[in-house]
């Protein structure tokens, strides 16, 4: 023992309470597997250490502290054994305790280390950083303060708070949400003029089951990162990173410390109610649209669709184009997004309702307007690319206008492979519909009567779906006209109902040899 100094003894007592007592507690907790017994044993060890420091100064303080801890634990274990009670854990001699280094990594392991790691996964970043630095990296308060660029008092305060949070958490039986082991699927539909430079929104949405369940969990239910990490069973450091990414990409919004989904999601029950109604109007509206297209063709002949394909093929495009002309629209613009994107999306919970095949519409081009209806029916859409690309679209427009397409041989070869053009000798000819606005605007008494009926059915269906959708939108969408418009637009009567009914009627003819580019058009 060194020469006794009262001031030195007091300094070591302070050193023990600030830097060792917590570690001694975890050591005791490991050995006893009981919080109350660990607290009592810690008090006993601490009493012996403080009492001894009031009388003498040890030469090797760290080794001395752990020697007393070993001795007092041995006494405790012996007394417990004498009372014929079960001894929890292994003997202290199982651990190789170095004289001058931190021993917490060797002590807090197995069950307690597992609990500690679990809690570290769910503790906020500002507390997690100091806990890891202090206990796992053995850094001093001063070093931590310097690295975090804050006052030493701030580090001590965070460390104290973190200890309490971890203690409380390790006592808890964590209950993860259902989505942590049973994730849900969700589908999306987008209205857009431009994807982002990185392919948003589809580059973010497709294939990311975690993102889908974050959206579902935070929809109409703003939650903190900690709450979301528990509900989805994802470690908080990872969850914090993903949430901030989704916020930057505008899929989530943040209010204070809570995140919420920034786009509408149509519930399963709403979809089923809307689907049940849509089935009651599908036959009537499809019949009237078939009559409209047939009458228009009777009046204008093949010139209605350019004459490059036969009427049976053109019907697929014409009836969808008629649908788009008369259906109710709420959206007037697209939301500007990061990196040049202009898009809006709507999510759909999975449902058992036998909803019809999806019919999308993709466009491109400059001089005119190339668009293609993408029929997710049977194997049609699987034979062509989802998007054609600007160069190919412009080539089709030039052919429609009779302009020179020399120098585009590779593009034309690809277009021929998919069936958009045919080659006769050394010339290429279109194999798609070409529409003119003037032809679509043709009208007579028959068409006006059909138009009135079609618009009325569309309007009634839209009113029905809009009422259901608006009633279930979360309160935070109040005043957000764009979000409401997106929900109403994308929840109403869809092209797929007319597609499947027209096929069932025999008005549209489908077989395995159907042209894969059916639905494509250039319109001027």
Task: Point out the domain boundary residue: 155, 171, 187.
Answer: 171
CATH of the domain at 77: 1.10.10.10
Let me know: does 461 contact 246? Beta carbons within 8 Å: no
- Whether residues 403 and 477 share a domain: the answer is yes
Domain assignment present for residue 101? The answer is yes
- Whether residues 290 and 424 share a domain: the answer is yes
Domain assignment present for residue 1? The answer is no
**What is the domain extent for residue 166?**
6-171
134-173 burial: b if 16+ Cβ within 10 Å, else e: bbeeebebeebbeeeeeeeebbbebbeebbebbbebbeee
Q: Tell me, yes or no, if the pTM score tops 0.85.
A: no
List, in sequence order, every residue forming a beta bridge with 260; answer none if it has no partner. Answer: 253
Query: Where does 301-419 have alpha helices with state H?
Result: 311-326, 390-401, 409-418
Task: Point out the domain boundary residue: 262, 295, 323.
Answer: 262
List, in sequence order, every residue forming a beta bridge with 261; answer none if it has no partner. Answer: 252
Domain assignment present for residue 143? The answer is yes
CA terminus-to-terminus distance, the chain: 99
Token match 């001089």: residue? 367
- Whether residues 194 and 116 share a domain: the answer is no
Task: Point out the domain boundary residue: 143, 171, 199.
Answer: 171
Let me know: does 300 contact 441? Beta carbons within 8 Å: no
- Print pLDDT tens along the chain (524 aa): 556 667 787 788 878 877 888 788 778 877 877 777 777 888 888 888 888 887 888 888 888 999 999 898 888 888 876 654 433 343 333 333 333 344 444 444 445 555 555 555 556 667 777 877 877 677 888 888 888 888 888 888 787 777 776 665 555 444 555 665 578 889 999 988 888 898 899 999 987 899 999 999 999 999 999 889 888 877 777 888 899 999 999 999 999 999 999 999 999 999 999 999 999 999 999 999 999 999 999 999 999 999 999 999 999 999 999 999 999 888 888 999 998 999 999 999 988 878 899 999 887 655 458 999 999 999 888 888 777 788 899 999 999 988 998 899 999 999 999 999 998 888 899 999 999 888 889 999 999 999 999 999 999 999 999 999 999 999 999 889 999 999 999 899 999 999 999 999 999 999 988 888 899 999 98
- Whether residues 21 and 148 share a domain: the answer is yes
- Whether residues 55 and 186 share a domain: the answer is no
Domain assignment present for residue 273? The answer is yes
Summary count for the chain: helices (H), strands (E): 21, 12
């Amino acid at each position: 023992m060194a020469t006794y100094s009262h001031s030195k003894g007091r300094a070591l007592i302070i050193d023990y309470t600030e830097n060792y007592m917590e570690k001694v507690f975890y050591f005791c907790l490991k050995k006893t597997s009981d919080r109350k017994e660990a607290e009592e044993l810690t008090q006993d060890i601490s009493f012996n250490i403080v009492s001894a420091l009031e009388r003498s100064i040890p030469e090797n303080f760290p080794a001395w502290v752990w020697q007393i801890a070993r001795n007092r634990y041995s006494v405790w274990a012996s007394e417990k054994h004498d009372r014929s009670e079960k001894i929890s854990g292994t003997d202290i001699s199982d651990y190789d305790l170095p004289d001058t280094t931190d021993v917490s990594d060797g002590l807090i392991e197995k069950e307690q280390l597992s609990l500690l790691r679990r809690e570290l996964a769910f503790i906020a970043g500002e507390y997690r950083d100091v806990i890891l630095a202090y206990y796992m990296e053995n850094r001093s308060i001063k070093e931590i303060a310097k690295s975090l660029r804050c006052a030493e008092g701030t580090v001590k305060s965070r460390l104290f708070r973190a200890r309490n949070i971890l203690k409380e958490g390790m006592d808890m039986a964590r209950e993860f949400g259902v989505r942590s082991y049973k994730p849900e699927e969700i589908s999306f539909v987008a209205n857009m003029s431009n994807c982002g430079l990185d392919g948003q929104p589809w580059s973010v949405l497709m294939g990311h089951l975690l993102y889908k369940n974050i959206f579902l969990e935070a929809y109409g239910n703003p939650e903190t990162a900690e709450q979301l990490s528990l509900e989805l069973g994802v470690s908080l450091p990872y969850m914090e990173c993903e949430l901030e990414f989704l916020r930057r990409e505008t899929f989530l919004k943040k209010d204070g410390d809570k995140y919420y989904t920034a786009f509408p999601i149509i519930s399963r029950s709403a979809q089923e109610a809307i689907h049940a109604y849509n089935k009651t109007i599908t036959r009537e509206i499809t019949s009237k649209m078939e009559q409209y297209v047939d009458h228009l063709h009777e009046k204008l002949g093949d010139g209605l669709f350019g004459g490059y394909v036969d009427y049976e093929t053109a019907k697929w495009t014409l009836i969808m184009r008629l649908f788009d002309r008369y259906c109710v629209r709420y959206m007037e613009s697209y939301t500007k997004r990061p990196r040049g994107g202009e898009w809006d999306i709507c999510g759909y919970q999975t449902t058992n309702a036998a909803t019809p095949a999806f019919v999308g519409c993709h466009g491109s081009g400059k001089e005119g307007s190339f668009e293609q209806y993408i029929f997710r029916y049977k194997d049609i859409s699987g034979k062509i690319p989802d998007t054609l690309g600007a160069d190919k679209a412009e080539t089709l427009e030039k052919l429609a206008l009779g302009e020179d397409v020399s120098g585009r041989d590779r593009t034309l070869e690809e277009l021929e492979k998919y069936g958009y053009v045919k080659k006769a000798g050394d010339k290429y000819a279109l194999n798609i519909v070409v529409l003119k606005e003037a032809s679509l605007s043709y009208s007579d008494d028959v068409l006006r009567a059909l138009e009135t009926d079609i618009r009325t059915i569309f309007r009634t269906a839209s009113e029905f779906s809009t009422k259901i959708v608006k009633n279930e939108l979360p309160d935070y969408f109040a005043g957000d006209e764009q979000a409401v418009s997106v929900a109403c637009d994308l929840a109403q009567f869809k092209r797929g109902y007319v597609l499947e009914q027209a096929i069932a009627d025999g008005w549209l003819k489908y077989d395995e040899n159907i042209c894969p580019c059916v639905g494509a058009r250039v319109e001027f």
